[in-house]
Amino acid sequence: MLIRTLLAASVLTTLTAAEDGKTLYKTYCAACHAADGKGANNGAFPPLAKSLWIQGKPDRAIQVVLHGLTGEVEVLGKSYNLQMPPQGAMLNDTQIASILTYVRSSWGNQESAVTPAQVTSARKNSTKQKGMWTAKNLLELHPLPPTASPIRNLIRSTYVGKWKKLPDFSKLESVSVEEEHKGILNLHDIAAKDNFGVVWEGDLEVPADGTYKFILDSDDGSALYLDGKKIMALNSTGPLYSRTQAVEITLKKGTIPIRVEYFEASQKQDIFLVWSGPSIPGKQWLSVRPNTKRKSTPVIDISPKGEKSTIYNNFIHHTTPRAISIGHSNGTNYTFSTKTCAMSILWSGKFINAAQHWTSRGVGRTAPYGKNITPLGNTGFITKDTTQFRGYKLDPLRRPTFQYTIGETTVTDAIMPGESPHTLRRTITITGDQTLPFQAATSRQAKQTNSSTYTLGGKWQLNTGNTTAQLTKNALILKLTPGTHTLNYSLLP
């Protein structure tokens, strides 16, 4: 009876922590990782659902929350290069434990609860950590848990010969036959450097009925067979990432034979095989990750040089597709959405790395290049009238003044650099006879410090001056009467 009571109390404690963590998660985490843990903006941010970063011992996740994470990181087979800001100064050990308990038990995650004592210990053990973690440094201390390969009974046969295209291995005699105990295609432990071939054969476990995508690449040639049928082949010499092939195929749940052929002519030796589909979180590697990395994108830093501001008109994270980014000479940057006529992001330091869109016609959204990145979310005028963007005018220093109309009312919006570094002076002029409510931030972001000053996202400060402001349950609302209103933004020390 006592054991049953203790077990019930333990379960109740875990459920309570997870429930409290859900509220804290929505407040501090959902803006980037989404309420469903799949990453906000259709996966533009790293997902937490079924992520290896959440699984296993909680130390890795605790350190990310305490000290943040910067640089390139891979989650569920997708690479991200964003910043996870540190939360250790903002959240206490109990709050962090509650958030991680919720995350580790939600959206398919089935990990144990995190205790405040574990967070306290992790905080104490990492006092020497200066700045944010990189994935490489953190994973050296807290490696990701291994994932089981879906390939069983994998056998590797090695051949010797000089080829410029895939040979008929059935007519050749192998020099060695070995088991790949981990079920992963591996070239890294082969002594030969040139003029050899490999055939892997095993059983692929398909977890569910559906369409699966396979991606194959190699240096030099390779081919993939499923259930005795050739699916795709790179039947020539060439470097990795020069001939990548991808095929989608419908498979039934169960076990099917898999065969992969490969030959190496000269220089580097690598093979790249991943698959994705139903019941597979992200992309799963079927090969050891290649030694050869994909050629990195160069950095094209377009931060302002001199007094003139820089304007960048392209797709940016955290905002609408129709947005204009402005970098000012005092190290203050922002993005203005021409769809909603609202300032949508604030950040400091470097402006934009334009390489993604300026090199090889890159697609997708670019992240701000600097620090203290603060998405402002749903801001702008609250009105039933249609807001129409009317363009902008540049002053001699290439600083824009935006113009838009709200019904019969005309608005000019000049967001200029302040006199000090990392400050903005925003002048909104309303021409007409309407008094319009203006949402400066959500209540989740805005915290009032005095009668006219508010913090935004814990990184920036907004001074509303003489403008009437009210922090409601949902938002910070300003009452903008006809005439001119001045708002001042500054980076918190």
pLDDT of res. 10: 41
Tell me what percent of the residues of the chain surpass a pLDDT of 90: 57
What residues contact residue 388 under an 8 Å CB cut-off, 6+ apart? 404, 405, 406
User: Hey, is 8 helix, strand or coil?
Assistant: helix
d(CA 401, CA 420): 20
- Which pLDDT tens digit goes with each residue over 395-404? 999 999 999 9
Residue of 482, 341, 484, 339 whose CA lies nearest to 409: 482
Mean of pLDDT values over 8-31:
67
Long-range (24+ apart) CB contacts under 8 A made by 468-472 are 469/440, 471/443, 471/446, 472/443
Helical segments of 219-354, H only: none
User: Hey, is 197 helix, strand or coil?
Assistant: strand
d(CA 120, CA 126): 10
pLDDT of res. 334: 96
pLDDT of res. 294: 57
Residue of 48, 51, 46 whose CA lies nearest to 83: 46
- Which pLDDT tens digit goes with each residue over 345-370? 999 999 998 887 776 445 567 889 88
What residues contact residue 12 under an 8 Å CB cut-off, 6+ apart? none
pLDDT band at 424 (very low <50, low <70, confident <90, very high): very high
Distances (CA, A) of 57 to 33, 101, 193, 301: 21, 12, 39, 39
Listed ranges 279-288, 316-325, 478-487; the one with the highest mean pLDDT: 478-487
Residue of 280, 122, 263 whose CA lies nearest to 215: 280
- Which pLDDT tens digit goes with each residue over 119-171? 999 999 999 998 899 988 898 888 887 778 999 999 999 999 999 999 999 99
- Which pLDDT tens digit goes with each residue over 83-96? 888 998 889 999 99
Mean of pLDDT values over 4-13:
39
pLDDT band at 293 (very low <50, low <70, confident <90, very high): low
Average pLDDT, the chain: 88
- Bin 265: left if φ > 0, else alpha if -120 < ψ < 50, else beta: alpha
pLDDT band at 74 (very low <50, low <70, confident <90, very high): confident
Amino acid identity at 411: V
Residue of 128, 118, 129 whose CA lies nearest to 61: 118
Q: Which residue in the block uniquely carries the two structure tokens 């003489």?
A: 466
Mean of pLDDT values over 448-459:
91
Burial class (CB in 10 A: 0-12, 13-18, 19+), 304: buried
Mean of pLDDT values over 307-323:
86
Sign of CA pseudo-dihedral 429, 435, 440, 446: positive
Evaluate whether 463 touches 455 at the Cβ level (below 8 Å): no
Evaluate whether 76 touches 45 at the Cβ level (below 8 Å): no
pLDDT of res. 203: 97
- Which pLDDT tens digit goes with each residue over 195-240? 999 999 999 999 999 999 999 999 999 999 999 999 999 998 888 8
- Which pLDDT tens digit goes with each residue over 227-281? 999 999 999 888 888 788 999 999 999 999 999 999 999 888 899 999 988 888 7
Where does 338-456 show beta strands of DSSP type E?
Answer: 342-348, 371-375, 380-381, 387-394, 400-406, 409-417, 423-431, 436-442, 446-450, 453-456
Point out the least confidently predicted range of 6-15, 62-71, 147-156.
6-15
Distance of CA 492 to the CA centre of its chain: 25
